[in-house]
Structure formats: structure tokens, C-alpha cells
A and B are shown apart, each in its own frame.
Chain A
Amino acid sequence: MAQVSSIADEQASTPLSSPKSILLRISKFNPKLDESSKFMEFTVPYQKWTTVLEAILDVKKHFDHSVAVRYSCRQATCGSCGMMINGKPKLACFTKISELDSDVVTVEPMNNFPVIRDLTVGFEKLFAKHQKIQPYLIRDDSELESDEREFLQSPEEVEQYIQFANCIKCGLCNSACPTMATDSSFVGPQALAQAYRYVADSRDKGKDTRLNIIDESHGIWRCHFAGSCSQVCPKGVDPAMGIQFLRGYLLGFRS
């Protein structure tokens, strides 16, 4: 186990004068070299505001620069730093260590995604399924003529889908989904929520097309409303709600 005592105060994101520290356990795994994952353990100081991502970056900076982690914006906007934190999928930049109420923080790659290395997973399947539901406005007159105005919407019409437009494609919902845990072909809560986002958009005319896409054996019917996707969403998208509304269209509850 590495120790923090050799780090100069001014180098660490969190001042080493911090009285509190946690044991950060980082999963290390390279599919090309390793047969199984193992955990590296580091003692990391933290303050009330220190995020898990900052702790990982401290480890990268001072102890083990080989730790693979994907991140960019550090403000829960890019959706890059999703990982399992103490057993639940969360964004590392959006999770404060002080909120975890634990002296041990274990970080692992997200479940239900292929591991590239350490904490970094591949998003190819997620993006493929996202593209499959045609995530764009479908209408015959989508190309505006020069003398036309934009497609107008009332505030009430915007409210119908704006919540689902918050999706940052971080993959946490797919990682928490119990169906994704066993069915690699399931389209997944992320793509289904985005299908609803466009179906609910008053400017869109592709409802029937999208409902046909998701009405398949590994489509919407594999969702059993466990709701875990909505509980882990860091942007309040609530995929479970969108999926049930979509199913309402297919079952005839909605029109």
C-alpha cells in the first residue's frame, strides 16, 4: 500500500494538512495482459469538497500514473467518468468522498461495459444502440427554406421532453440495469429514454418508426420497471419514466 507522506502539500489537490483520509481501492485490469482484476490501495487525504475523481487524479499524479481513467469536464456534463463507486454506478466528478460515509472507497469499471483498462470502459455498444433509435428529428420538411421560421414549440410542449434531453450518455443507467446484466442485446435504458425524448417532441414525426425499432424481442419488453436506471442518473433524466410512457404508446394507453 502506498503512503501519502511523501507528497508535498502544494502538489496535492487536497492539502495534506487535511485531518481526514480514506483508503482508495482502485481496480487494475488490462484485458490484454491480465487474467483477472486486482485492487491497488492508496491512502488519500480529502476535504469536504474533494471528489472521487480528484482523489484518483491525486493517485495518478503521485503514486501510479498508469491508472487509466477517462474524464474531461469535471462538472457532470461530459459523462466521461462513470464508474462503480462502492458498488454503485456514479460519476466520479459528481461524487464527493465526504458523502460516501465510508473510510474505504472502492472504484471499479462500470458493469455491463467492456473494460478497456482499469476504470475505462468501451462505449461502442451504447453509442450504437443510441444511434439505432434514430436520435434526431424525423420529418419530411426538416430542411428549412430561407424564408421560413424555425419549428416553434410552446413551453408546455418543451416540458414534455426537455427532461430527457439532459442525457449525457454516461452509461450509468445501463450499468445499473438488471436486464443489461444478463442480456447483452437489450437496447438498454439510455437508448429507450432517448427514443422517448424524440417521440415526445412535438416537432418530430418519427414516432411509428421508433416504436417499430424498439418493439422487438430484445427491445422495450425486456424492461421490467426495476427503476435502478432512474436512481443512478446524475442528470435527473428518469429513464424508467420515459420507458413506461413509450410502452404506454405500444399498449394503447397513450396516443
Chain B
Amino acid sequence: MTEDEHREGIKGMANPGRYGIERIAYLLMRLTGLGLLGYFIAHVYETSNILRGRMGWDDFLAMTQTTEGHIFLVLVIGMCVFHTGNGIRIMLGHGGVGVGQPARPDYPYEPASQNYRHKIGIYSSIVLAAVAMMYGMAVMFGE
């Protein structure tokens, strides 16, 4: 990047502090997407261990039965639930659903597209992800 362009770059894209919950949801969506992609690649690698026979499969699977493995899976559960819930909200928004209707704006110009429906969608996704993570922890650590 040249100084001439004066772009914020990744740092600006990832800075969630300035524009409210919508920008935080944007950042979480990127992070959970990358996390799930990483999990998908790891999952393919993990299941490919079946080619090493039963012993090899059991050895690799044992890694997920450790405390670190459980924490990793709890994070995957949280990422999956948030990405799904927020993804549905965004897909509906991308189709123009729930983003309000054009109207003559009045000061102080609250944007109709950033309405309570979308905020509820974001907070619900976060709460659902937290609940799913707690349930996952109860199942994995409660044995």
C-alpha cells in the first residue's frame, strides 16, 4: 500500500469499535468464517486418518478427547452457530428483506437499514452461540 492511497487496510477493516454492533457482527462473521474454514480443513485431515487403519484412527480421535480438544470443539460450536444465525440475517438483508423502505430522511438521519430487526438478529446470534457453547461444554466436560 502506498501513502498516496491512504487506505486503512486490514487494520481498518478489522477495527470494530467505531460503528456499533453491525460492524462487530461484520468482524465476527469474518473471523468465524475463517475459523470454520480452518476446522473444515482440519476435519478433512482428521477423517483421512481412517486410511491408517483402526489404530491410526483411534489415535487421532483421542486428540479430541483432551481438554484442549474439547475447548477447540466448543469454539467450533460457537463459530458454527453464530455464523449460521448471522448468515441467515445477512442473506435476508442481501435480498432486501428487513432493511426498511425508502423514505424522505429526517434529521438526525437514523439509517433504516440498521433497524432493530437486524440488531435483534445479531444479538440473538451471539446469545444462541453462547448457549450452544455452554451446552457443548456441559456435554463434553460434564462426563
- A residues lining the B interface (CB < 8 Å): 31, 36, 87-88, 109-115, 121, 159-164, 166, 176, 178-182, 184, 200, 224-228, 230-238, 240-242, 244-245, 247-248, 251, 253-254
Contacts and interface: CB of A to CB of B under 8 A. Distances in A.
B19 A228 contact: yes
B131 interface: no
Contact of A111 (B7, B22, B26): B7
B53 interface: no
A244 B95 contact: yes
Interface string B16-45: 001110110010010000000000000000
Main DSSP-derived SS at the A contact region = loop
A240 B113 contact: yes
A234 B95 CA distance: 25
Interface string B71-90: 00000000000000000001
Given A163-B102, A180-B7, A228-B18, 5 more contacts: A181-B13, A227-B118, A236-B107, A241-B102, A244-B113
Interface size class of B (residues with CB under 8 A): 35 or more
A193 B22 CA distance: 19
A247 B12 CA distance: 25
Interface of B: 3-10, 12-13, 18-20, 22-23, 26, 29, 90, 93-97, 99-100, 102-107, 109, 111-114, 118
Given A111-B6, A164-B102, A228 B23 contact: yes
Nearest to A109: B6
Contacts of A182: 7-10, 12-13
B93 A244 contact: yes
Contacts of A242: 102
A111 B9 CA distance: 10
B13 A236 contact: no
Given A231-B20, A248-B95, A248-B96, A112 B6 contact: yes
A115 B114 CA distance: 31
A182 B13 CA distance: 7
A227 B102 contact: no
Contacts of A238: 100, 105, 111-113
B22 A178 contact: no
A244 B95 CA distance: 6
Among all A-B residue pairs, the 8 with the closest Cβ atoms: A236-B105, A236-B109, A248-B96, A230-B111, A253-B95, A226-B26, A241-B113, A181-B8
Given A31-B3, A111-B7, A227-B23, A233 B109 contact: yes
B103 A181 contact: no
Contact of A225 (B94, B107, B112): B94
Given A31-B4, A182-B10, A224 B99 contact: no
Nearest to A87: B18
A112 B12 CA distance: 10
B26 A178 contact: yes
A159 B104 contact: yes
8 contacts: A112-B6, A227-B113, A235-B109, A238-B112, A241-B111, A244-B99, A253-B95, A254-B95
A255 to B, nearest CB: 11
Contacts of A228: 18-19, 22-23
Contacts of A231: 19-20, 22, 111, 114
Contacts of A230: 111, 113-114
B12 A111 contact: yes
